[in-house]
């Protein structure tokens, strides 16, 4: 089970985050998914994850790439340490394009149920990246 769950998470990172495949998103996301890392008061369902990648990161980062450094699986949970990188070529949270290369470091835990993302917790350096770009 752990190997299959790691593959689900790997596919999500490459096919959904990096490549932007809506078909893969729909195939890999449980309809009752909960993003436990969503800011308080913000939407935390499946669509909130899609919006983060498609409406925030993808328009702002050209050549977006996900590099998985480590994955550890136990039971129905997969922990992944990864970097989402790209070139800041479009507006990002109100910050005009700088042309700089950016890297967002992420550690997340995903609970996989029936081959789909059921729940997510995560920490990342997105706020640090924004602060750095704002100073550019």
Over residues 71-125, the pLDDT tens digits come to 999 999 999 999 999 999 999 999 999 999 999 999 999 999 999 999 999 999 9
Length of the chain: 136
**Domain at 39, CATH number:** 3.10.450.50
Listed as own residue / partner, the contacts of 22-29 with beta carbons closer than 8 Å and 24 or more positions apart are 22/50, 25/49, 25/50, 27/116, 28/115, 28/116, 28/117, 29/116, 29/117
What is the pLDDT at residue 39? 86
**Residue with more model confidence, 95 or 136:** 95
Q: In whole numbers, what is the pLDDT of the chain averaged over residues? A: 96
Q: What is the mean pLDDT of residues 43-57?
A: 92
Percent of the chain with pLDDT over 70: 100
pLDDT at 43 over 80: yes
* Cβ proximity of 129 and 87 under 8 Å: no
Q: How many structural domains compose the chain?
A: 1
pLDDT of residue 133: 94
pLDDT, position 42: 87
Q: Is the pLDDT of residue 136 over 90?
A: no
- Domain range for residue 43? 2-135
Supply the pLDDT for residue 107.
98
Mean pLDDT of 48-54: 91
């Amino acid at each position: 089970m752990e190997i299959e769950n790691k593959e689900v998470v790997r596919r999500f990172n490459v096919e959904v985050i990096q490549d932007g495949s809506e078909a893969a998103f729909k195939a890999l996301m449980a309809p009752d998914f909960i993003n436990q890392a969503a800011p308080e008061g913000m939407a935390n369902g499946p669509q909130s994850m899609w919006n983060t990648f498609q409406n925030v990161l993808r328009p702002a980062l050209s050549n977006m790439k996900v590099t998985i450094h480590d994955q550890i699986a136990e039971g129905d949970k997969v922990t992944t340490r990864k970097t989402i990188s790209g070139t800041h070529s479009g507006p990002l949270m109100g910050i005009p394009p700088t042309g700089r290369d950016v890297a967002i470091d992420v550690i997340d835990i995903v609970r996989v149920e029936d081959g789909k993302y059921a729940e997510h917790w995560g920490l990342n350096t997105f706020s640090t990246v924004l602060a750095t770009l704002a100073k550019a």
